[in-house]
Amino acid sequence: MEAKAINIHVDLIERAKGNDREAQFDLYRNYSAAMYNTALRITHNAALAEDVLQEAFLNAFQSLAYYRGDASFGSWLKRIVINKAISLSKKESRWEIREDDSFGDFEEEVDISSGYDVDHVKRAIGDLPDGFRTVLSLYLLEGYDHREISGILNIAESTSKTQYKRAKERLRSQLAKEMNHG
């Protein structure tokens, strides 16, 4: 027997497959906040993230008949959101991965962990270049490994690792700068 992902919304998913609008709405209600945040981290643009959310759900509901439950519904949907976010951002020419993204010297890690706050870190992640922001978000916040990220972004695994390392360095340096300037 094939291993199936455990879904907490099996009943909803089945009903949504049959185009039950109420079930589709319940799925939307359950997943839209997390999916919007994922889209927003990639696009870094609220209006575009909303478009991504709509198109991804539209796409998901249309393809739901083909969803077989091998991955959890959330991770299946998240992949659709991520693919959509990348393709829409590219279409708007807002998004690129620059292999040679560098930024000069950065300071050694300063121990400011006690002083980190979520808003600062969120803002600093938002200010990262597209490739850095996306790789860092996919790895740390969406929980993909570098092999998976290389597949999603169509880049080498080593590029994903390098981008992640540089993204972290840039983020740390940015946060240190903010701390120093109050």
Smallest distance, another protein to C-beta of residue 34, A: 6
14 binds another protein (CB under 8 A): no
30 binds another protein (CB under 8 A): no
Amino acid at 50: E
40 binds another protein (CB under 8 A): yes
Of the listed pieces 3-11, 18-26, 94-102, 127-135, which binds another protein according to CB under 8 A? 18-26
The residue to which tokens 């709509």 are assigned: 54
93 binds another protein (CB under 8 A): no
Write out the two tokens for 135. 């790789």
Among positions 7, 9, 14, 50, the unique one binding another protein when judged by CB under 8 A: 50
Which among 58, 63, 22, 76 is positioned nearest to 11, based on CA atoms?
Answer: 22
Among positions 48, 149, 153, 171, the unique one binding another protein when judged by CB under 8 A: 171
Closer CB to another protein, 99 or 116, in the complex: 116
DSSP 85-116: HHHHHHHTT-----TT---S--PPPP--GGG-
**Helix, strand or coil for residue 67?**
coil
Among positions 7, 9, 30, 61, the unique one binding another protein when judged by CB under 8 A: 61
Closer CB to another protein, 99 or 126, in the complex: 126
Neighbours of 84 (CB within 10 A): 24
